[in-house]
Amino acid sequence: MMTTAAGRWDRLIRNVHLATFTGDQEYGQLRHGAVALVADRIAWVGRETDLPAEFDCDEQIDGQGQWLLPGFIDCHTHLVFAGNRADEFAMRLAGASYEEIARAGGGIASTVAATRAASVDQLVAAARPRLAALMAEGVTGIEVKSGYGLSLEAERQMLLAATQLRDEFGISMQRTFLGAHALPPEYQGDADGYIDYLCLEVLPALAAEGLVDAVDGFCESIAFSPEQIRRVFEAARALDLPVKLHAEQLSNQHGSALVASFDGLSADHLEYLDGDGIAAMANAGTTAVLLPGAYYFLKETKQPPLAQLRQEQVAIALASDANPGSSPIFSLLLMLNLACTLWGMTPAEALAGITRNGAKALGWQGRCGTIEVGKRADLLLWPIDTPAQLAYQVGALRPSQIWIGGELRKDRL
């Protein structure tokens, strides 16, 4: 932890308490700490009293006793889409279920129609305030899925929009191909034909254009079978792309074991996950991404098997699942509160879920998610008394400073 890098530092953030999310302490906390940056990296971490007697540093920042945390990672979002589904919300309040609405041609299909009709510029304009809201709360790394296009051209538009947002906001982004999200109208009755189209045409073309960083699917009775998802994963493997899966959200289809068998990054949702799925994930090191926003918004009552995940030491991440149907919620901080209130996660577990384990869910564990020497200097300064306050308080919480890749960004958000 206390590594002294010889030479010059660009910045030194001092007089802060650190939540490093490393080691055994709760939050990996180190009180009265300091962090030095060189370019976009963390170069020194330790106690203020262990700073070298002499050092050369361009800028010193007084943290005034605030808490310094790693930048937050939202590892599961559907941030790019057109339209909204407020009408379906009303239908659900009147008694219709998410599944009934989907089977009746609403749900994902209605967002697909709106998204197909939008230009890249319109998709970017619609997603811009969503991304700005997440980043204003401290998100410095994000995953963004396609999956509302469901054709080569419309999926490309979504991934181009995501890429444009990544570059405009200077955020770390994993762009995930989610062609196997729903069956588009032109393939009704021919799910296998659609999977062929994805595997043989769409995914190879988009990967060749450099628009895809990972591959996801929706394994569910209202979406695709494990056998169909397996074919998507085989196509991903042939292109050397990592995989993840929407699994066991509405029923147990054994998708988690499937994604684990492909050394998947994560299995996500997981309310209906069973012991075999947990064992497979533990073996493969596949992260469990829990999505309390969708659980809450769909009024789900079956809780994900938190106790068994803990027992098997499966890394647990939390994400917003920001999307127009099941989680129209653009706040990662709210997810902390929901996970603690609804499921009994501890604030420390919840915060690890959007830092260290959020990074792991994206395969980014070597690059960000903790405060450690060599990691990217994605850092948040919070005016709080204890990190638990971030899970406890809803609203009126903002970082006082945000560094992304060593650059102070608060002013630009």
Piece of 17-25, 66-74, 106-114, 194-202 that binds ligand NIG (CB under 6 A): 106-114
Residue number with the shortest CB distance to ligand NIG?
A: 325
Written as one letter, the residue type at 88 is: E
Measured from the Cβ of residue 170, the count of other Cβ atoms closer than 10 Å reads: 14
CA-nearest of 232, 237, 153, 242 to 200 is 232
Residue 240's Cβ-count burial label (10 Å; 0-12, 13-18, 19+) is exposed
181 vs 230, beta carbon nearer ligand NIG: 181
Among 88, 213, 300, 321, which residue interacts with Fe ion (rule: CB under 5 A)?
321
* Size of interface with ligand NIG, in residues (CB under 6 A): 13
Residue entry with tokens 């995989």: 243
Confirm or reject binding of residue 155 to Fe ion (CB under 5 A): no
282 vs 318, beta carbon nearer ligand NIG: 318
Piece of 57-65, 122-130, 318-326, 353-361 that binds Fe ion (CB under 5 A): 318-326
Confirm or reject binding of residue 271 to Fe ion (CB under 5 A): no
Cβ(179)–Cβ(224) below 8 Å? no
Cβ(282)–Cβ(312) below 8 Å? yes
Confirm or reject binding of residue 137 to Fe ion (CB under 5 A): no
Question: Which residues in 227-246 contact ligand NIG (CB under 6 A)?
Answer: 246
Q: How far apart are CA 285 and CA 83, in angstroms?
A: 37
Confirm or reject binding of residue 321 to ligand NIG (CB under 6 A): yes
Question: Which residues in 7-46 contact ligand NIG (CB under 6 A)?
Answer: none
Confirm or reject binding of residue 101 to ligand NIG (CB under 6 A): no
- C-alpha radius of gyration, the chain, whole number: 21
Question: Which residues in 57-86 contact ligand NIG (CB under 6 A)?
Answer: 78
Instruction: Report angle CA 155, 209, 378 to the nearest 5 degrees.
Output: 85
Partner from Fe ion, ligand NIG, none binding residue 107, C-beta < 5-8 Å depending on class: ligand NIG
14 vs 175, beta carbon nearer ligand NIG: 175
Instruction: Please compute, for residue 335, the number of CA atoms within 13 A of its CA located in the half-sphere on the CB side.
Output: 36
326 vs 337, beta carbon nearer Fe ion: 326
Partner from ligand NIG, Fe ion, none binding residue 111, C-beta < 5-8 Å depending on class: ligand NIG
Q: Is 70 left (phi over 0), alpha (psi -120 to 50) or beta?
A: beta
Question: Which residues in 291-320 contact ligand NIG (CB under 6 A)?
Answer: 294
Question: What secondary structure, in 3-state letters, does 93-132 show?
Answer: HCCCCHHHHHHCCCCHHHHHHHHHCCCHHHHHHHHHHHHH
Question: Which residues in 256-295 contact ligand NIG (CB under 6 A)?
Answer: 294
Among 28, 264, 324, 405, which residue interacts with ligand NIG (rule: CB under 6 A)?
324
Phi and psi dihedrals of 69, rounded to 5? -120, 160
Partner from ligand NIG, Fe ion, none binding residue 163, C-beta < 5-8 Å depending on class: none
Query: CB neighbours of 167 closer than 8 A, spacing ≥ 6?
Result: none
Among 242, 255, 325, 358, which residue interacts with ligand NIG (rule: CB under 6 A)?
325
Strand order of the β-sheet with 214-217 is 72-74, 139-145, 172-180, 214-217
101 vs 131, beta carbon nearer ligand NIG: 101
Binding site for Fe ion (CB under 5 A): 321
Binding site for ligand NIG (CB under 6 A): 78, 107-108, 111, 218, 246, 249, 294, 321, 323-326
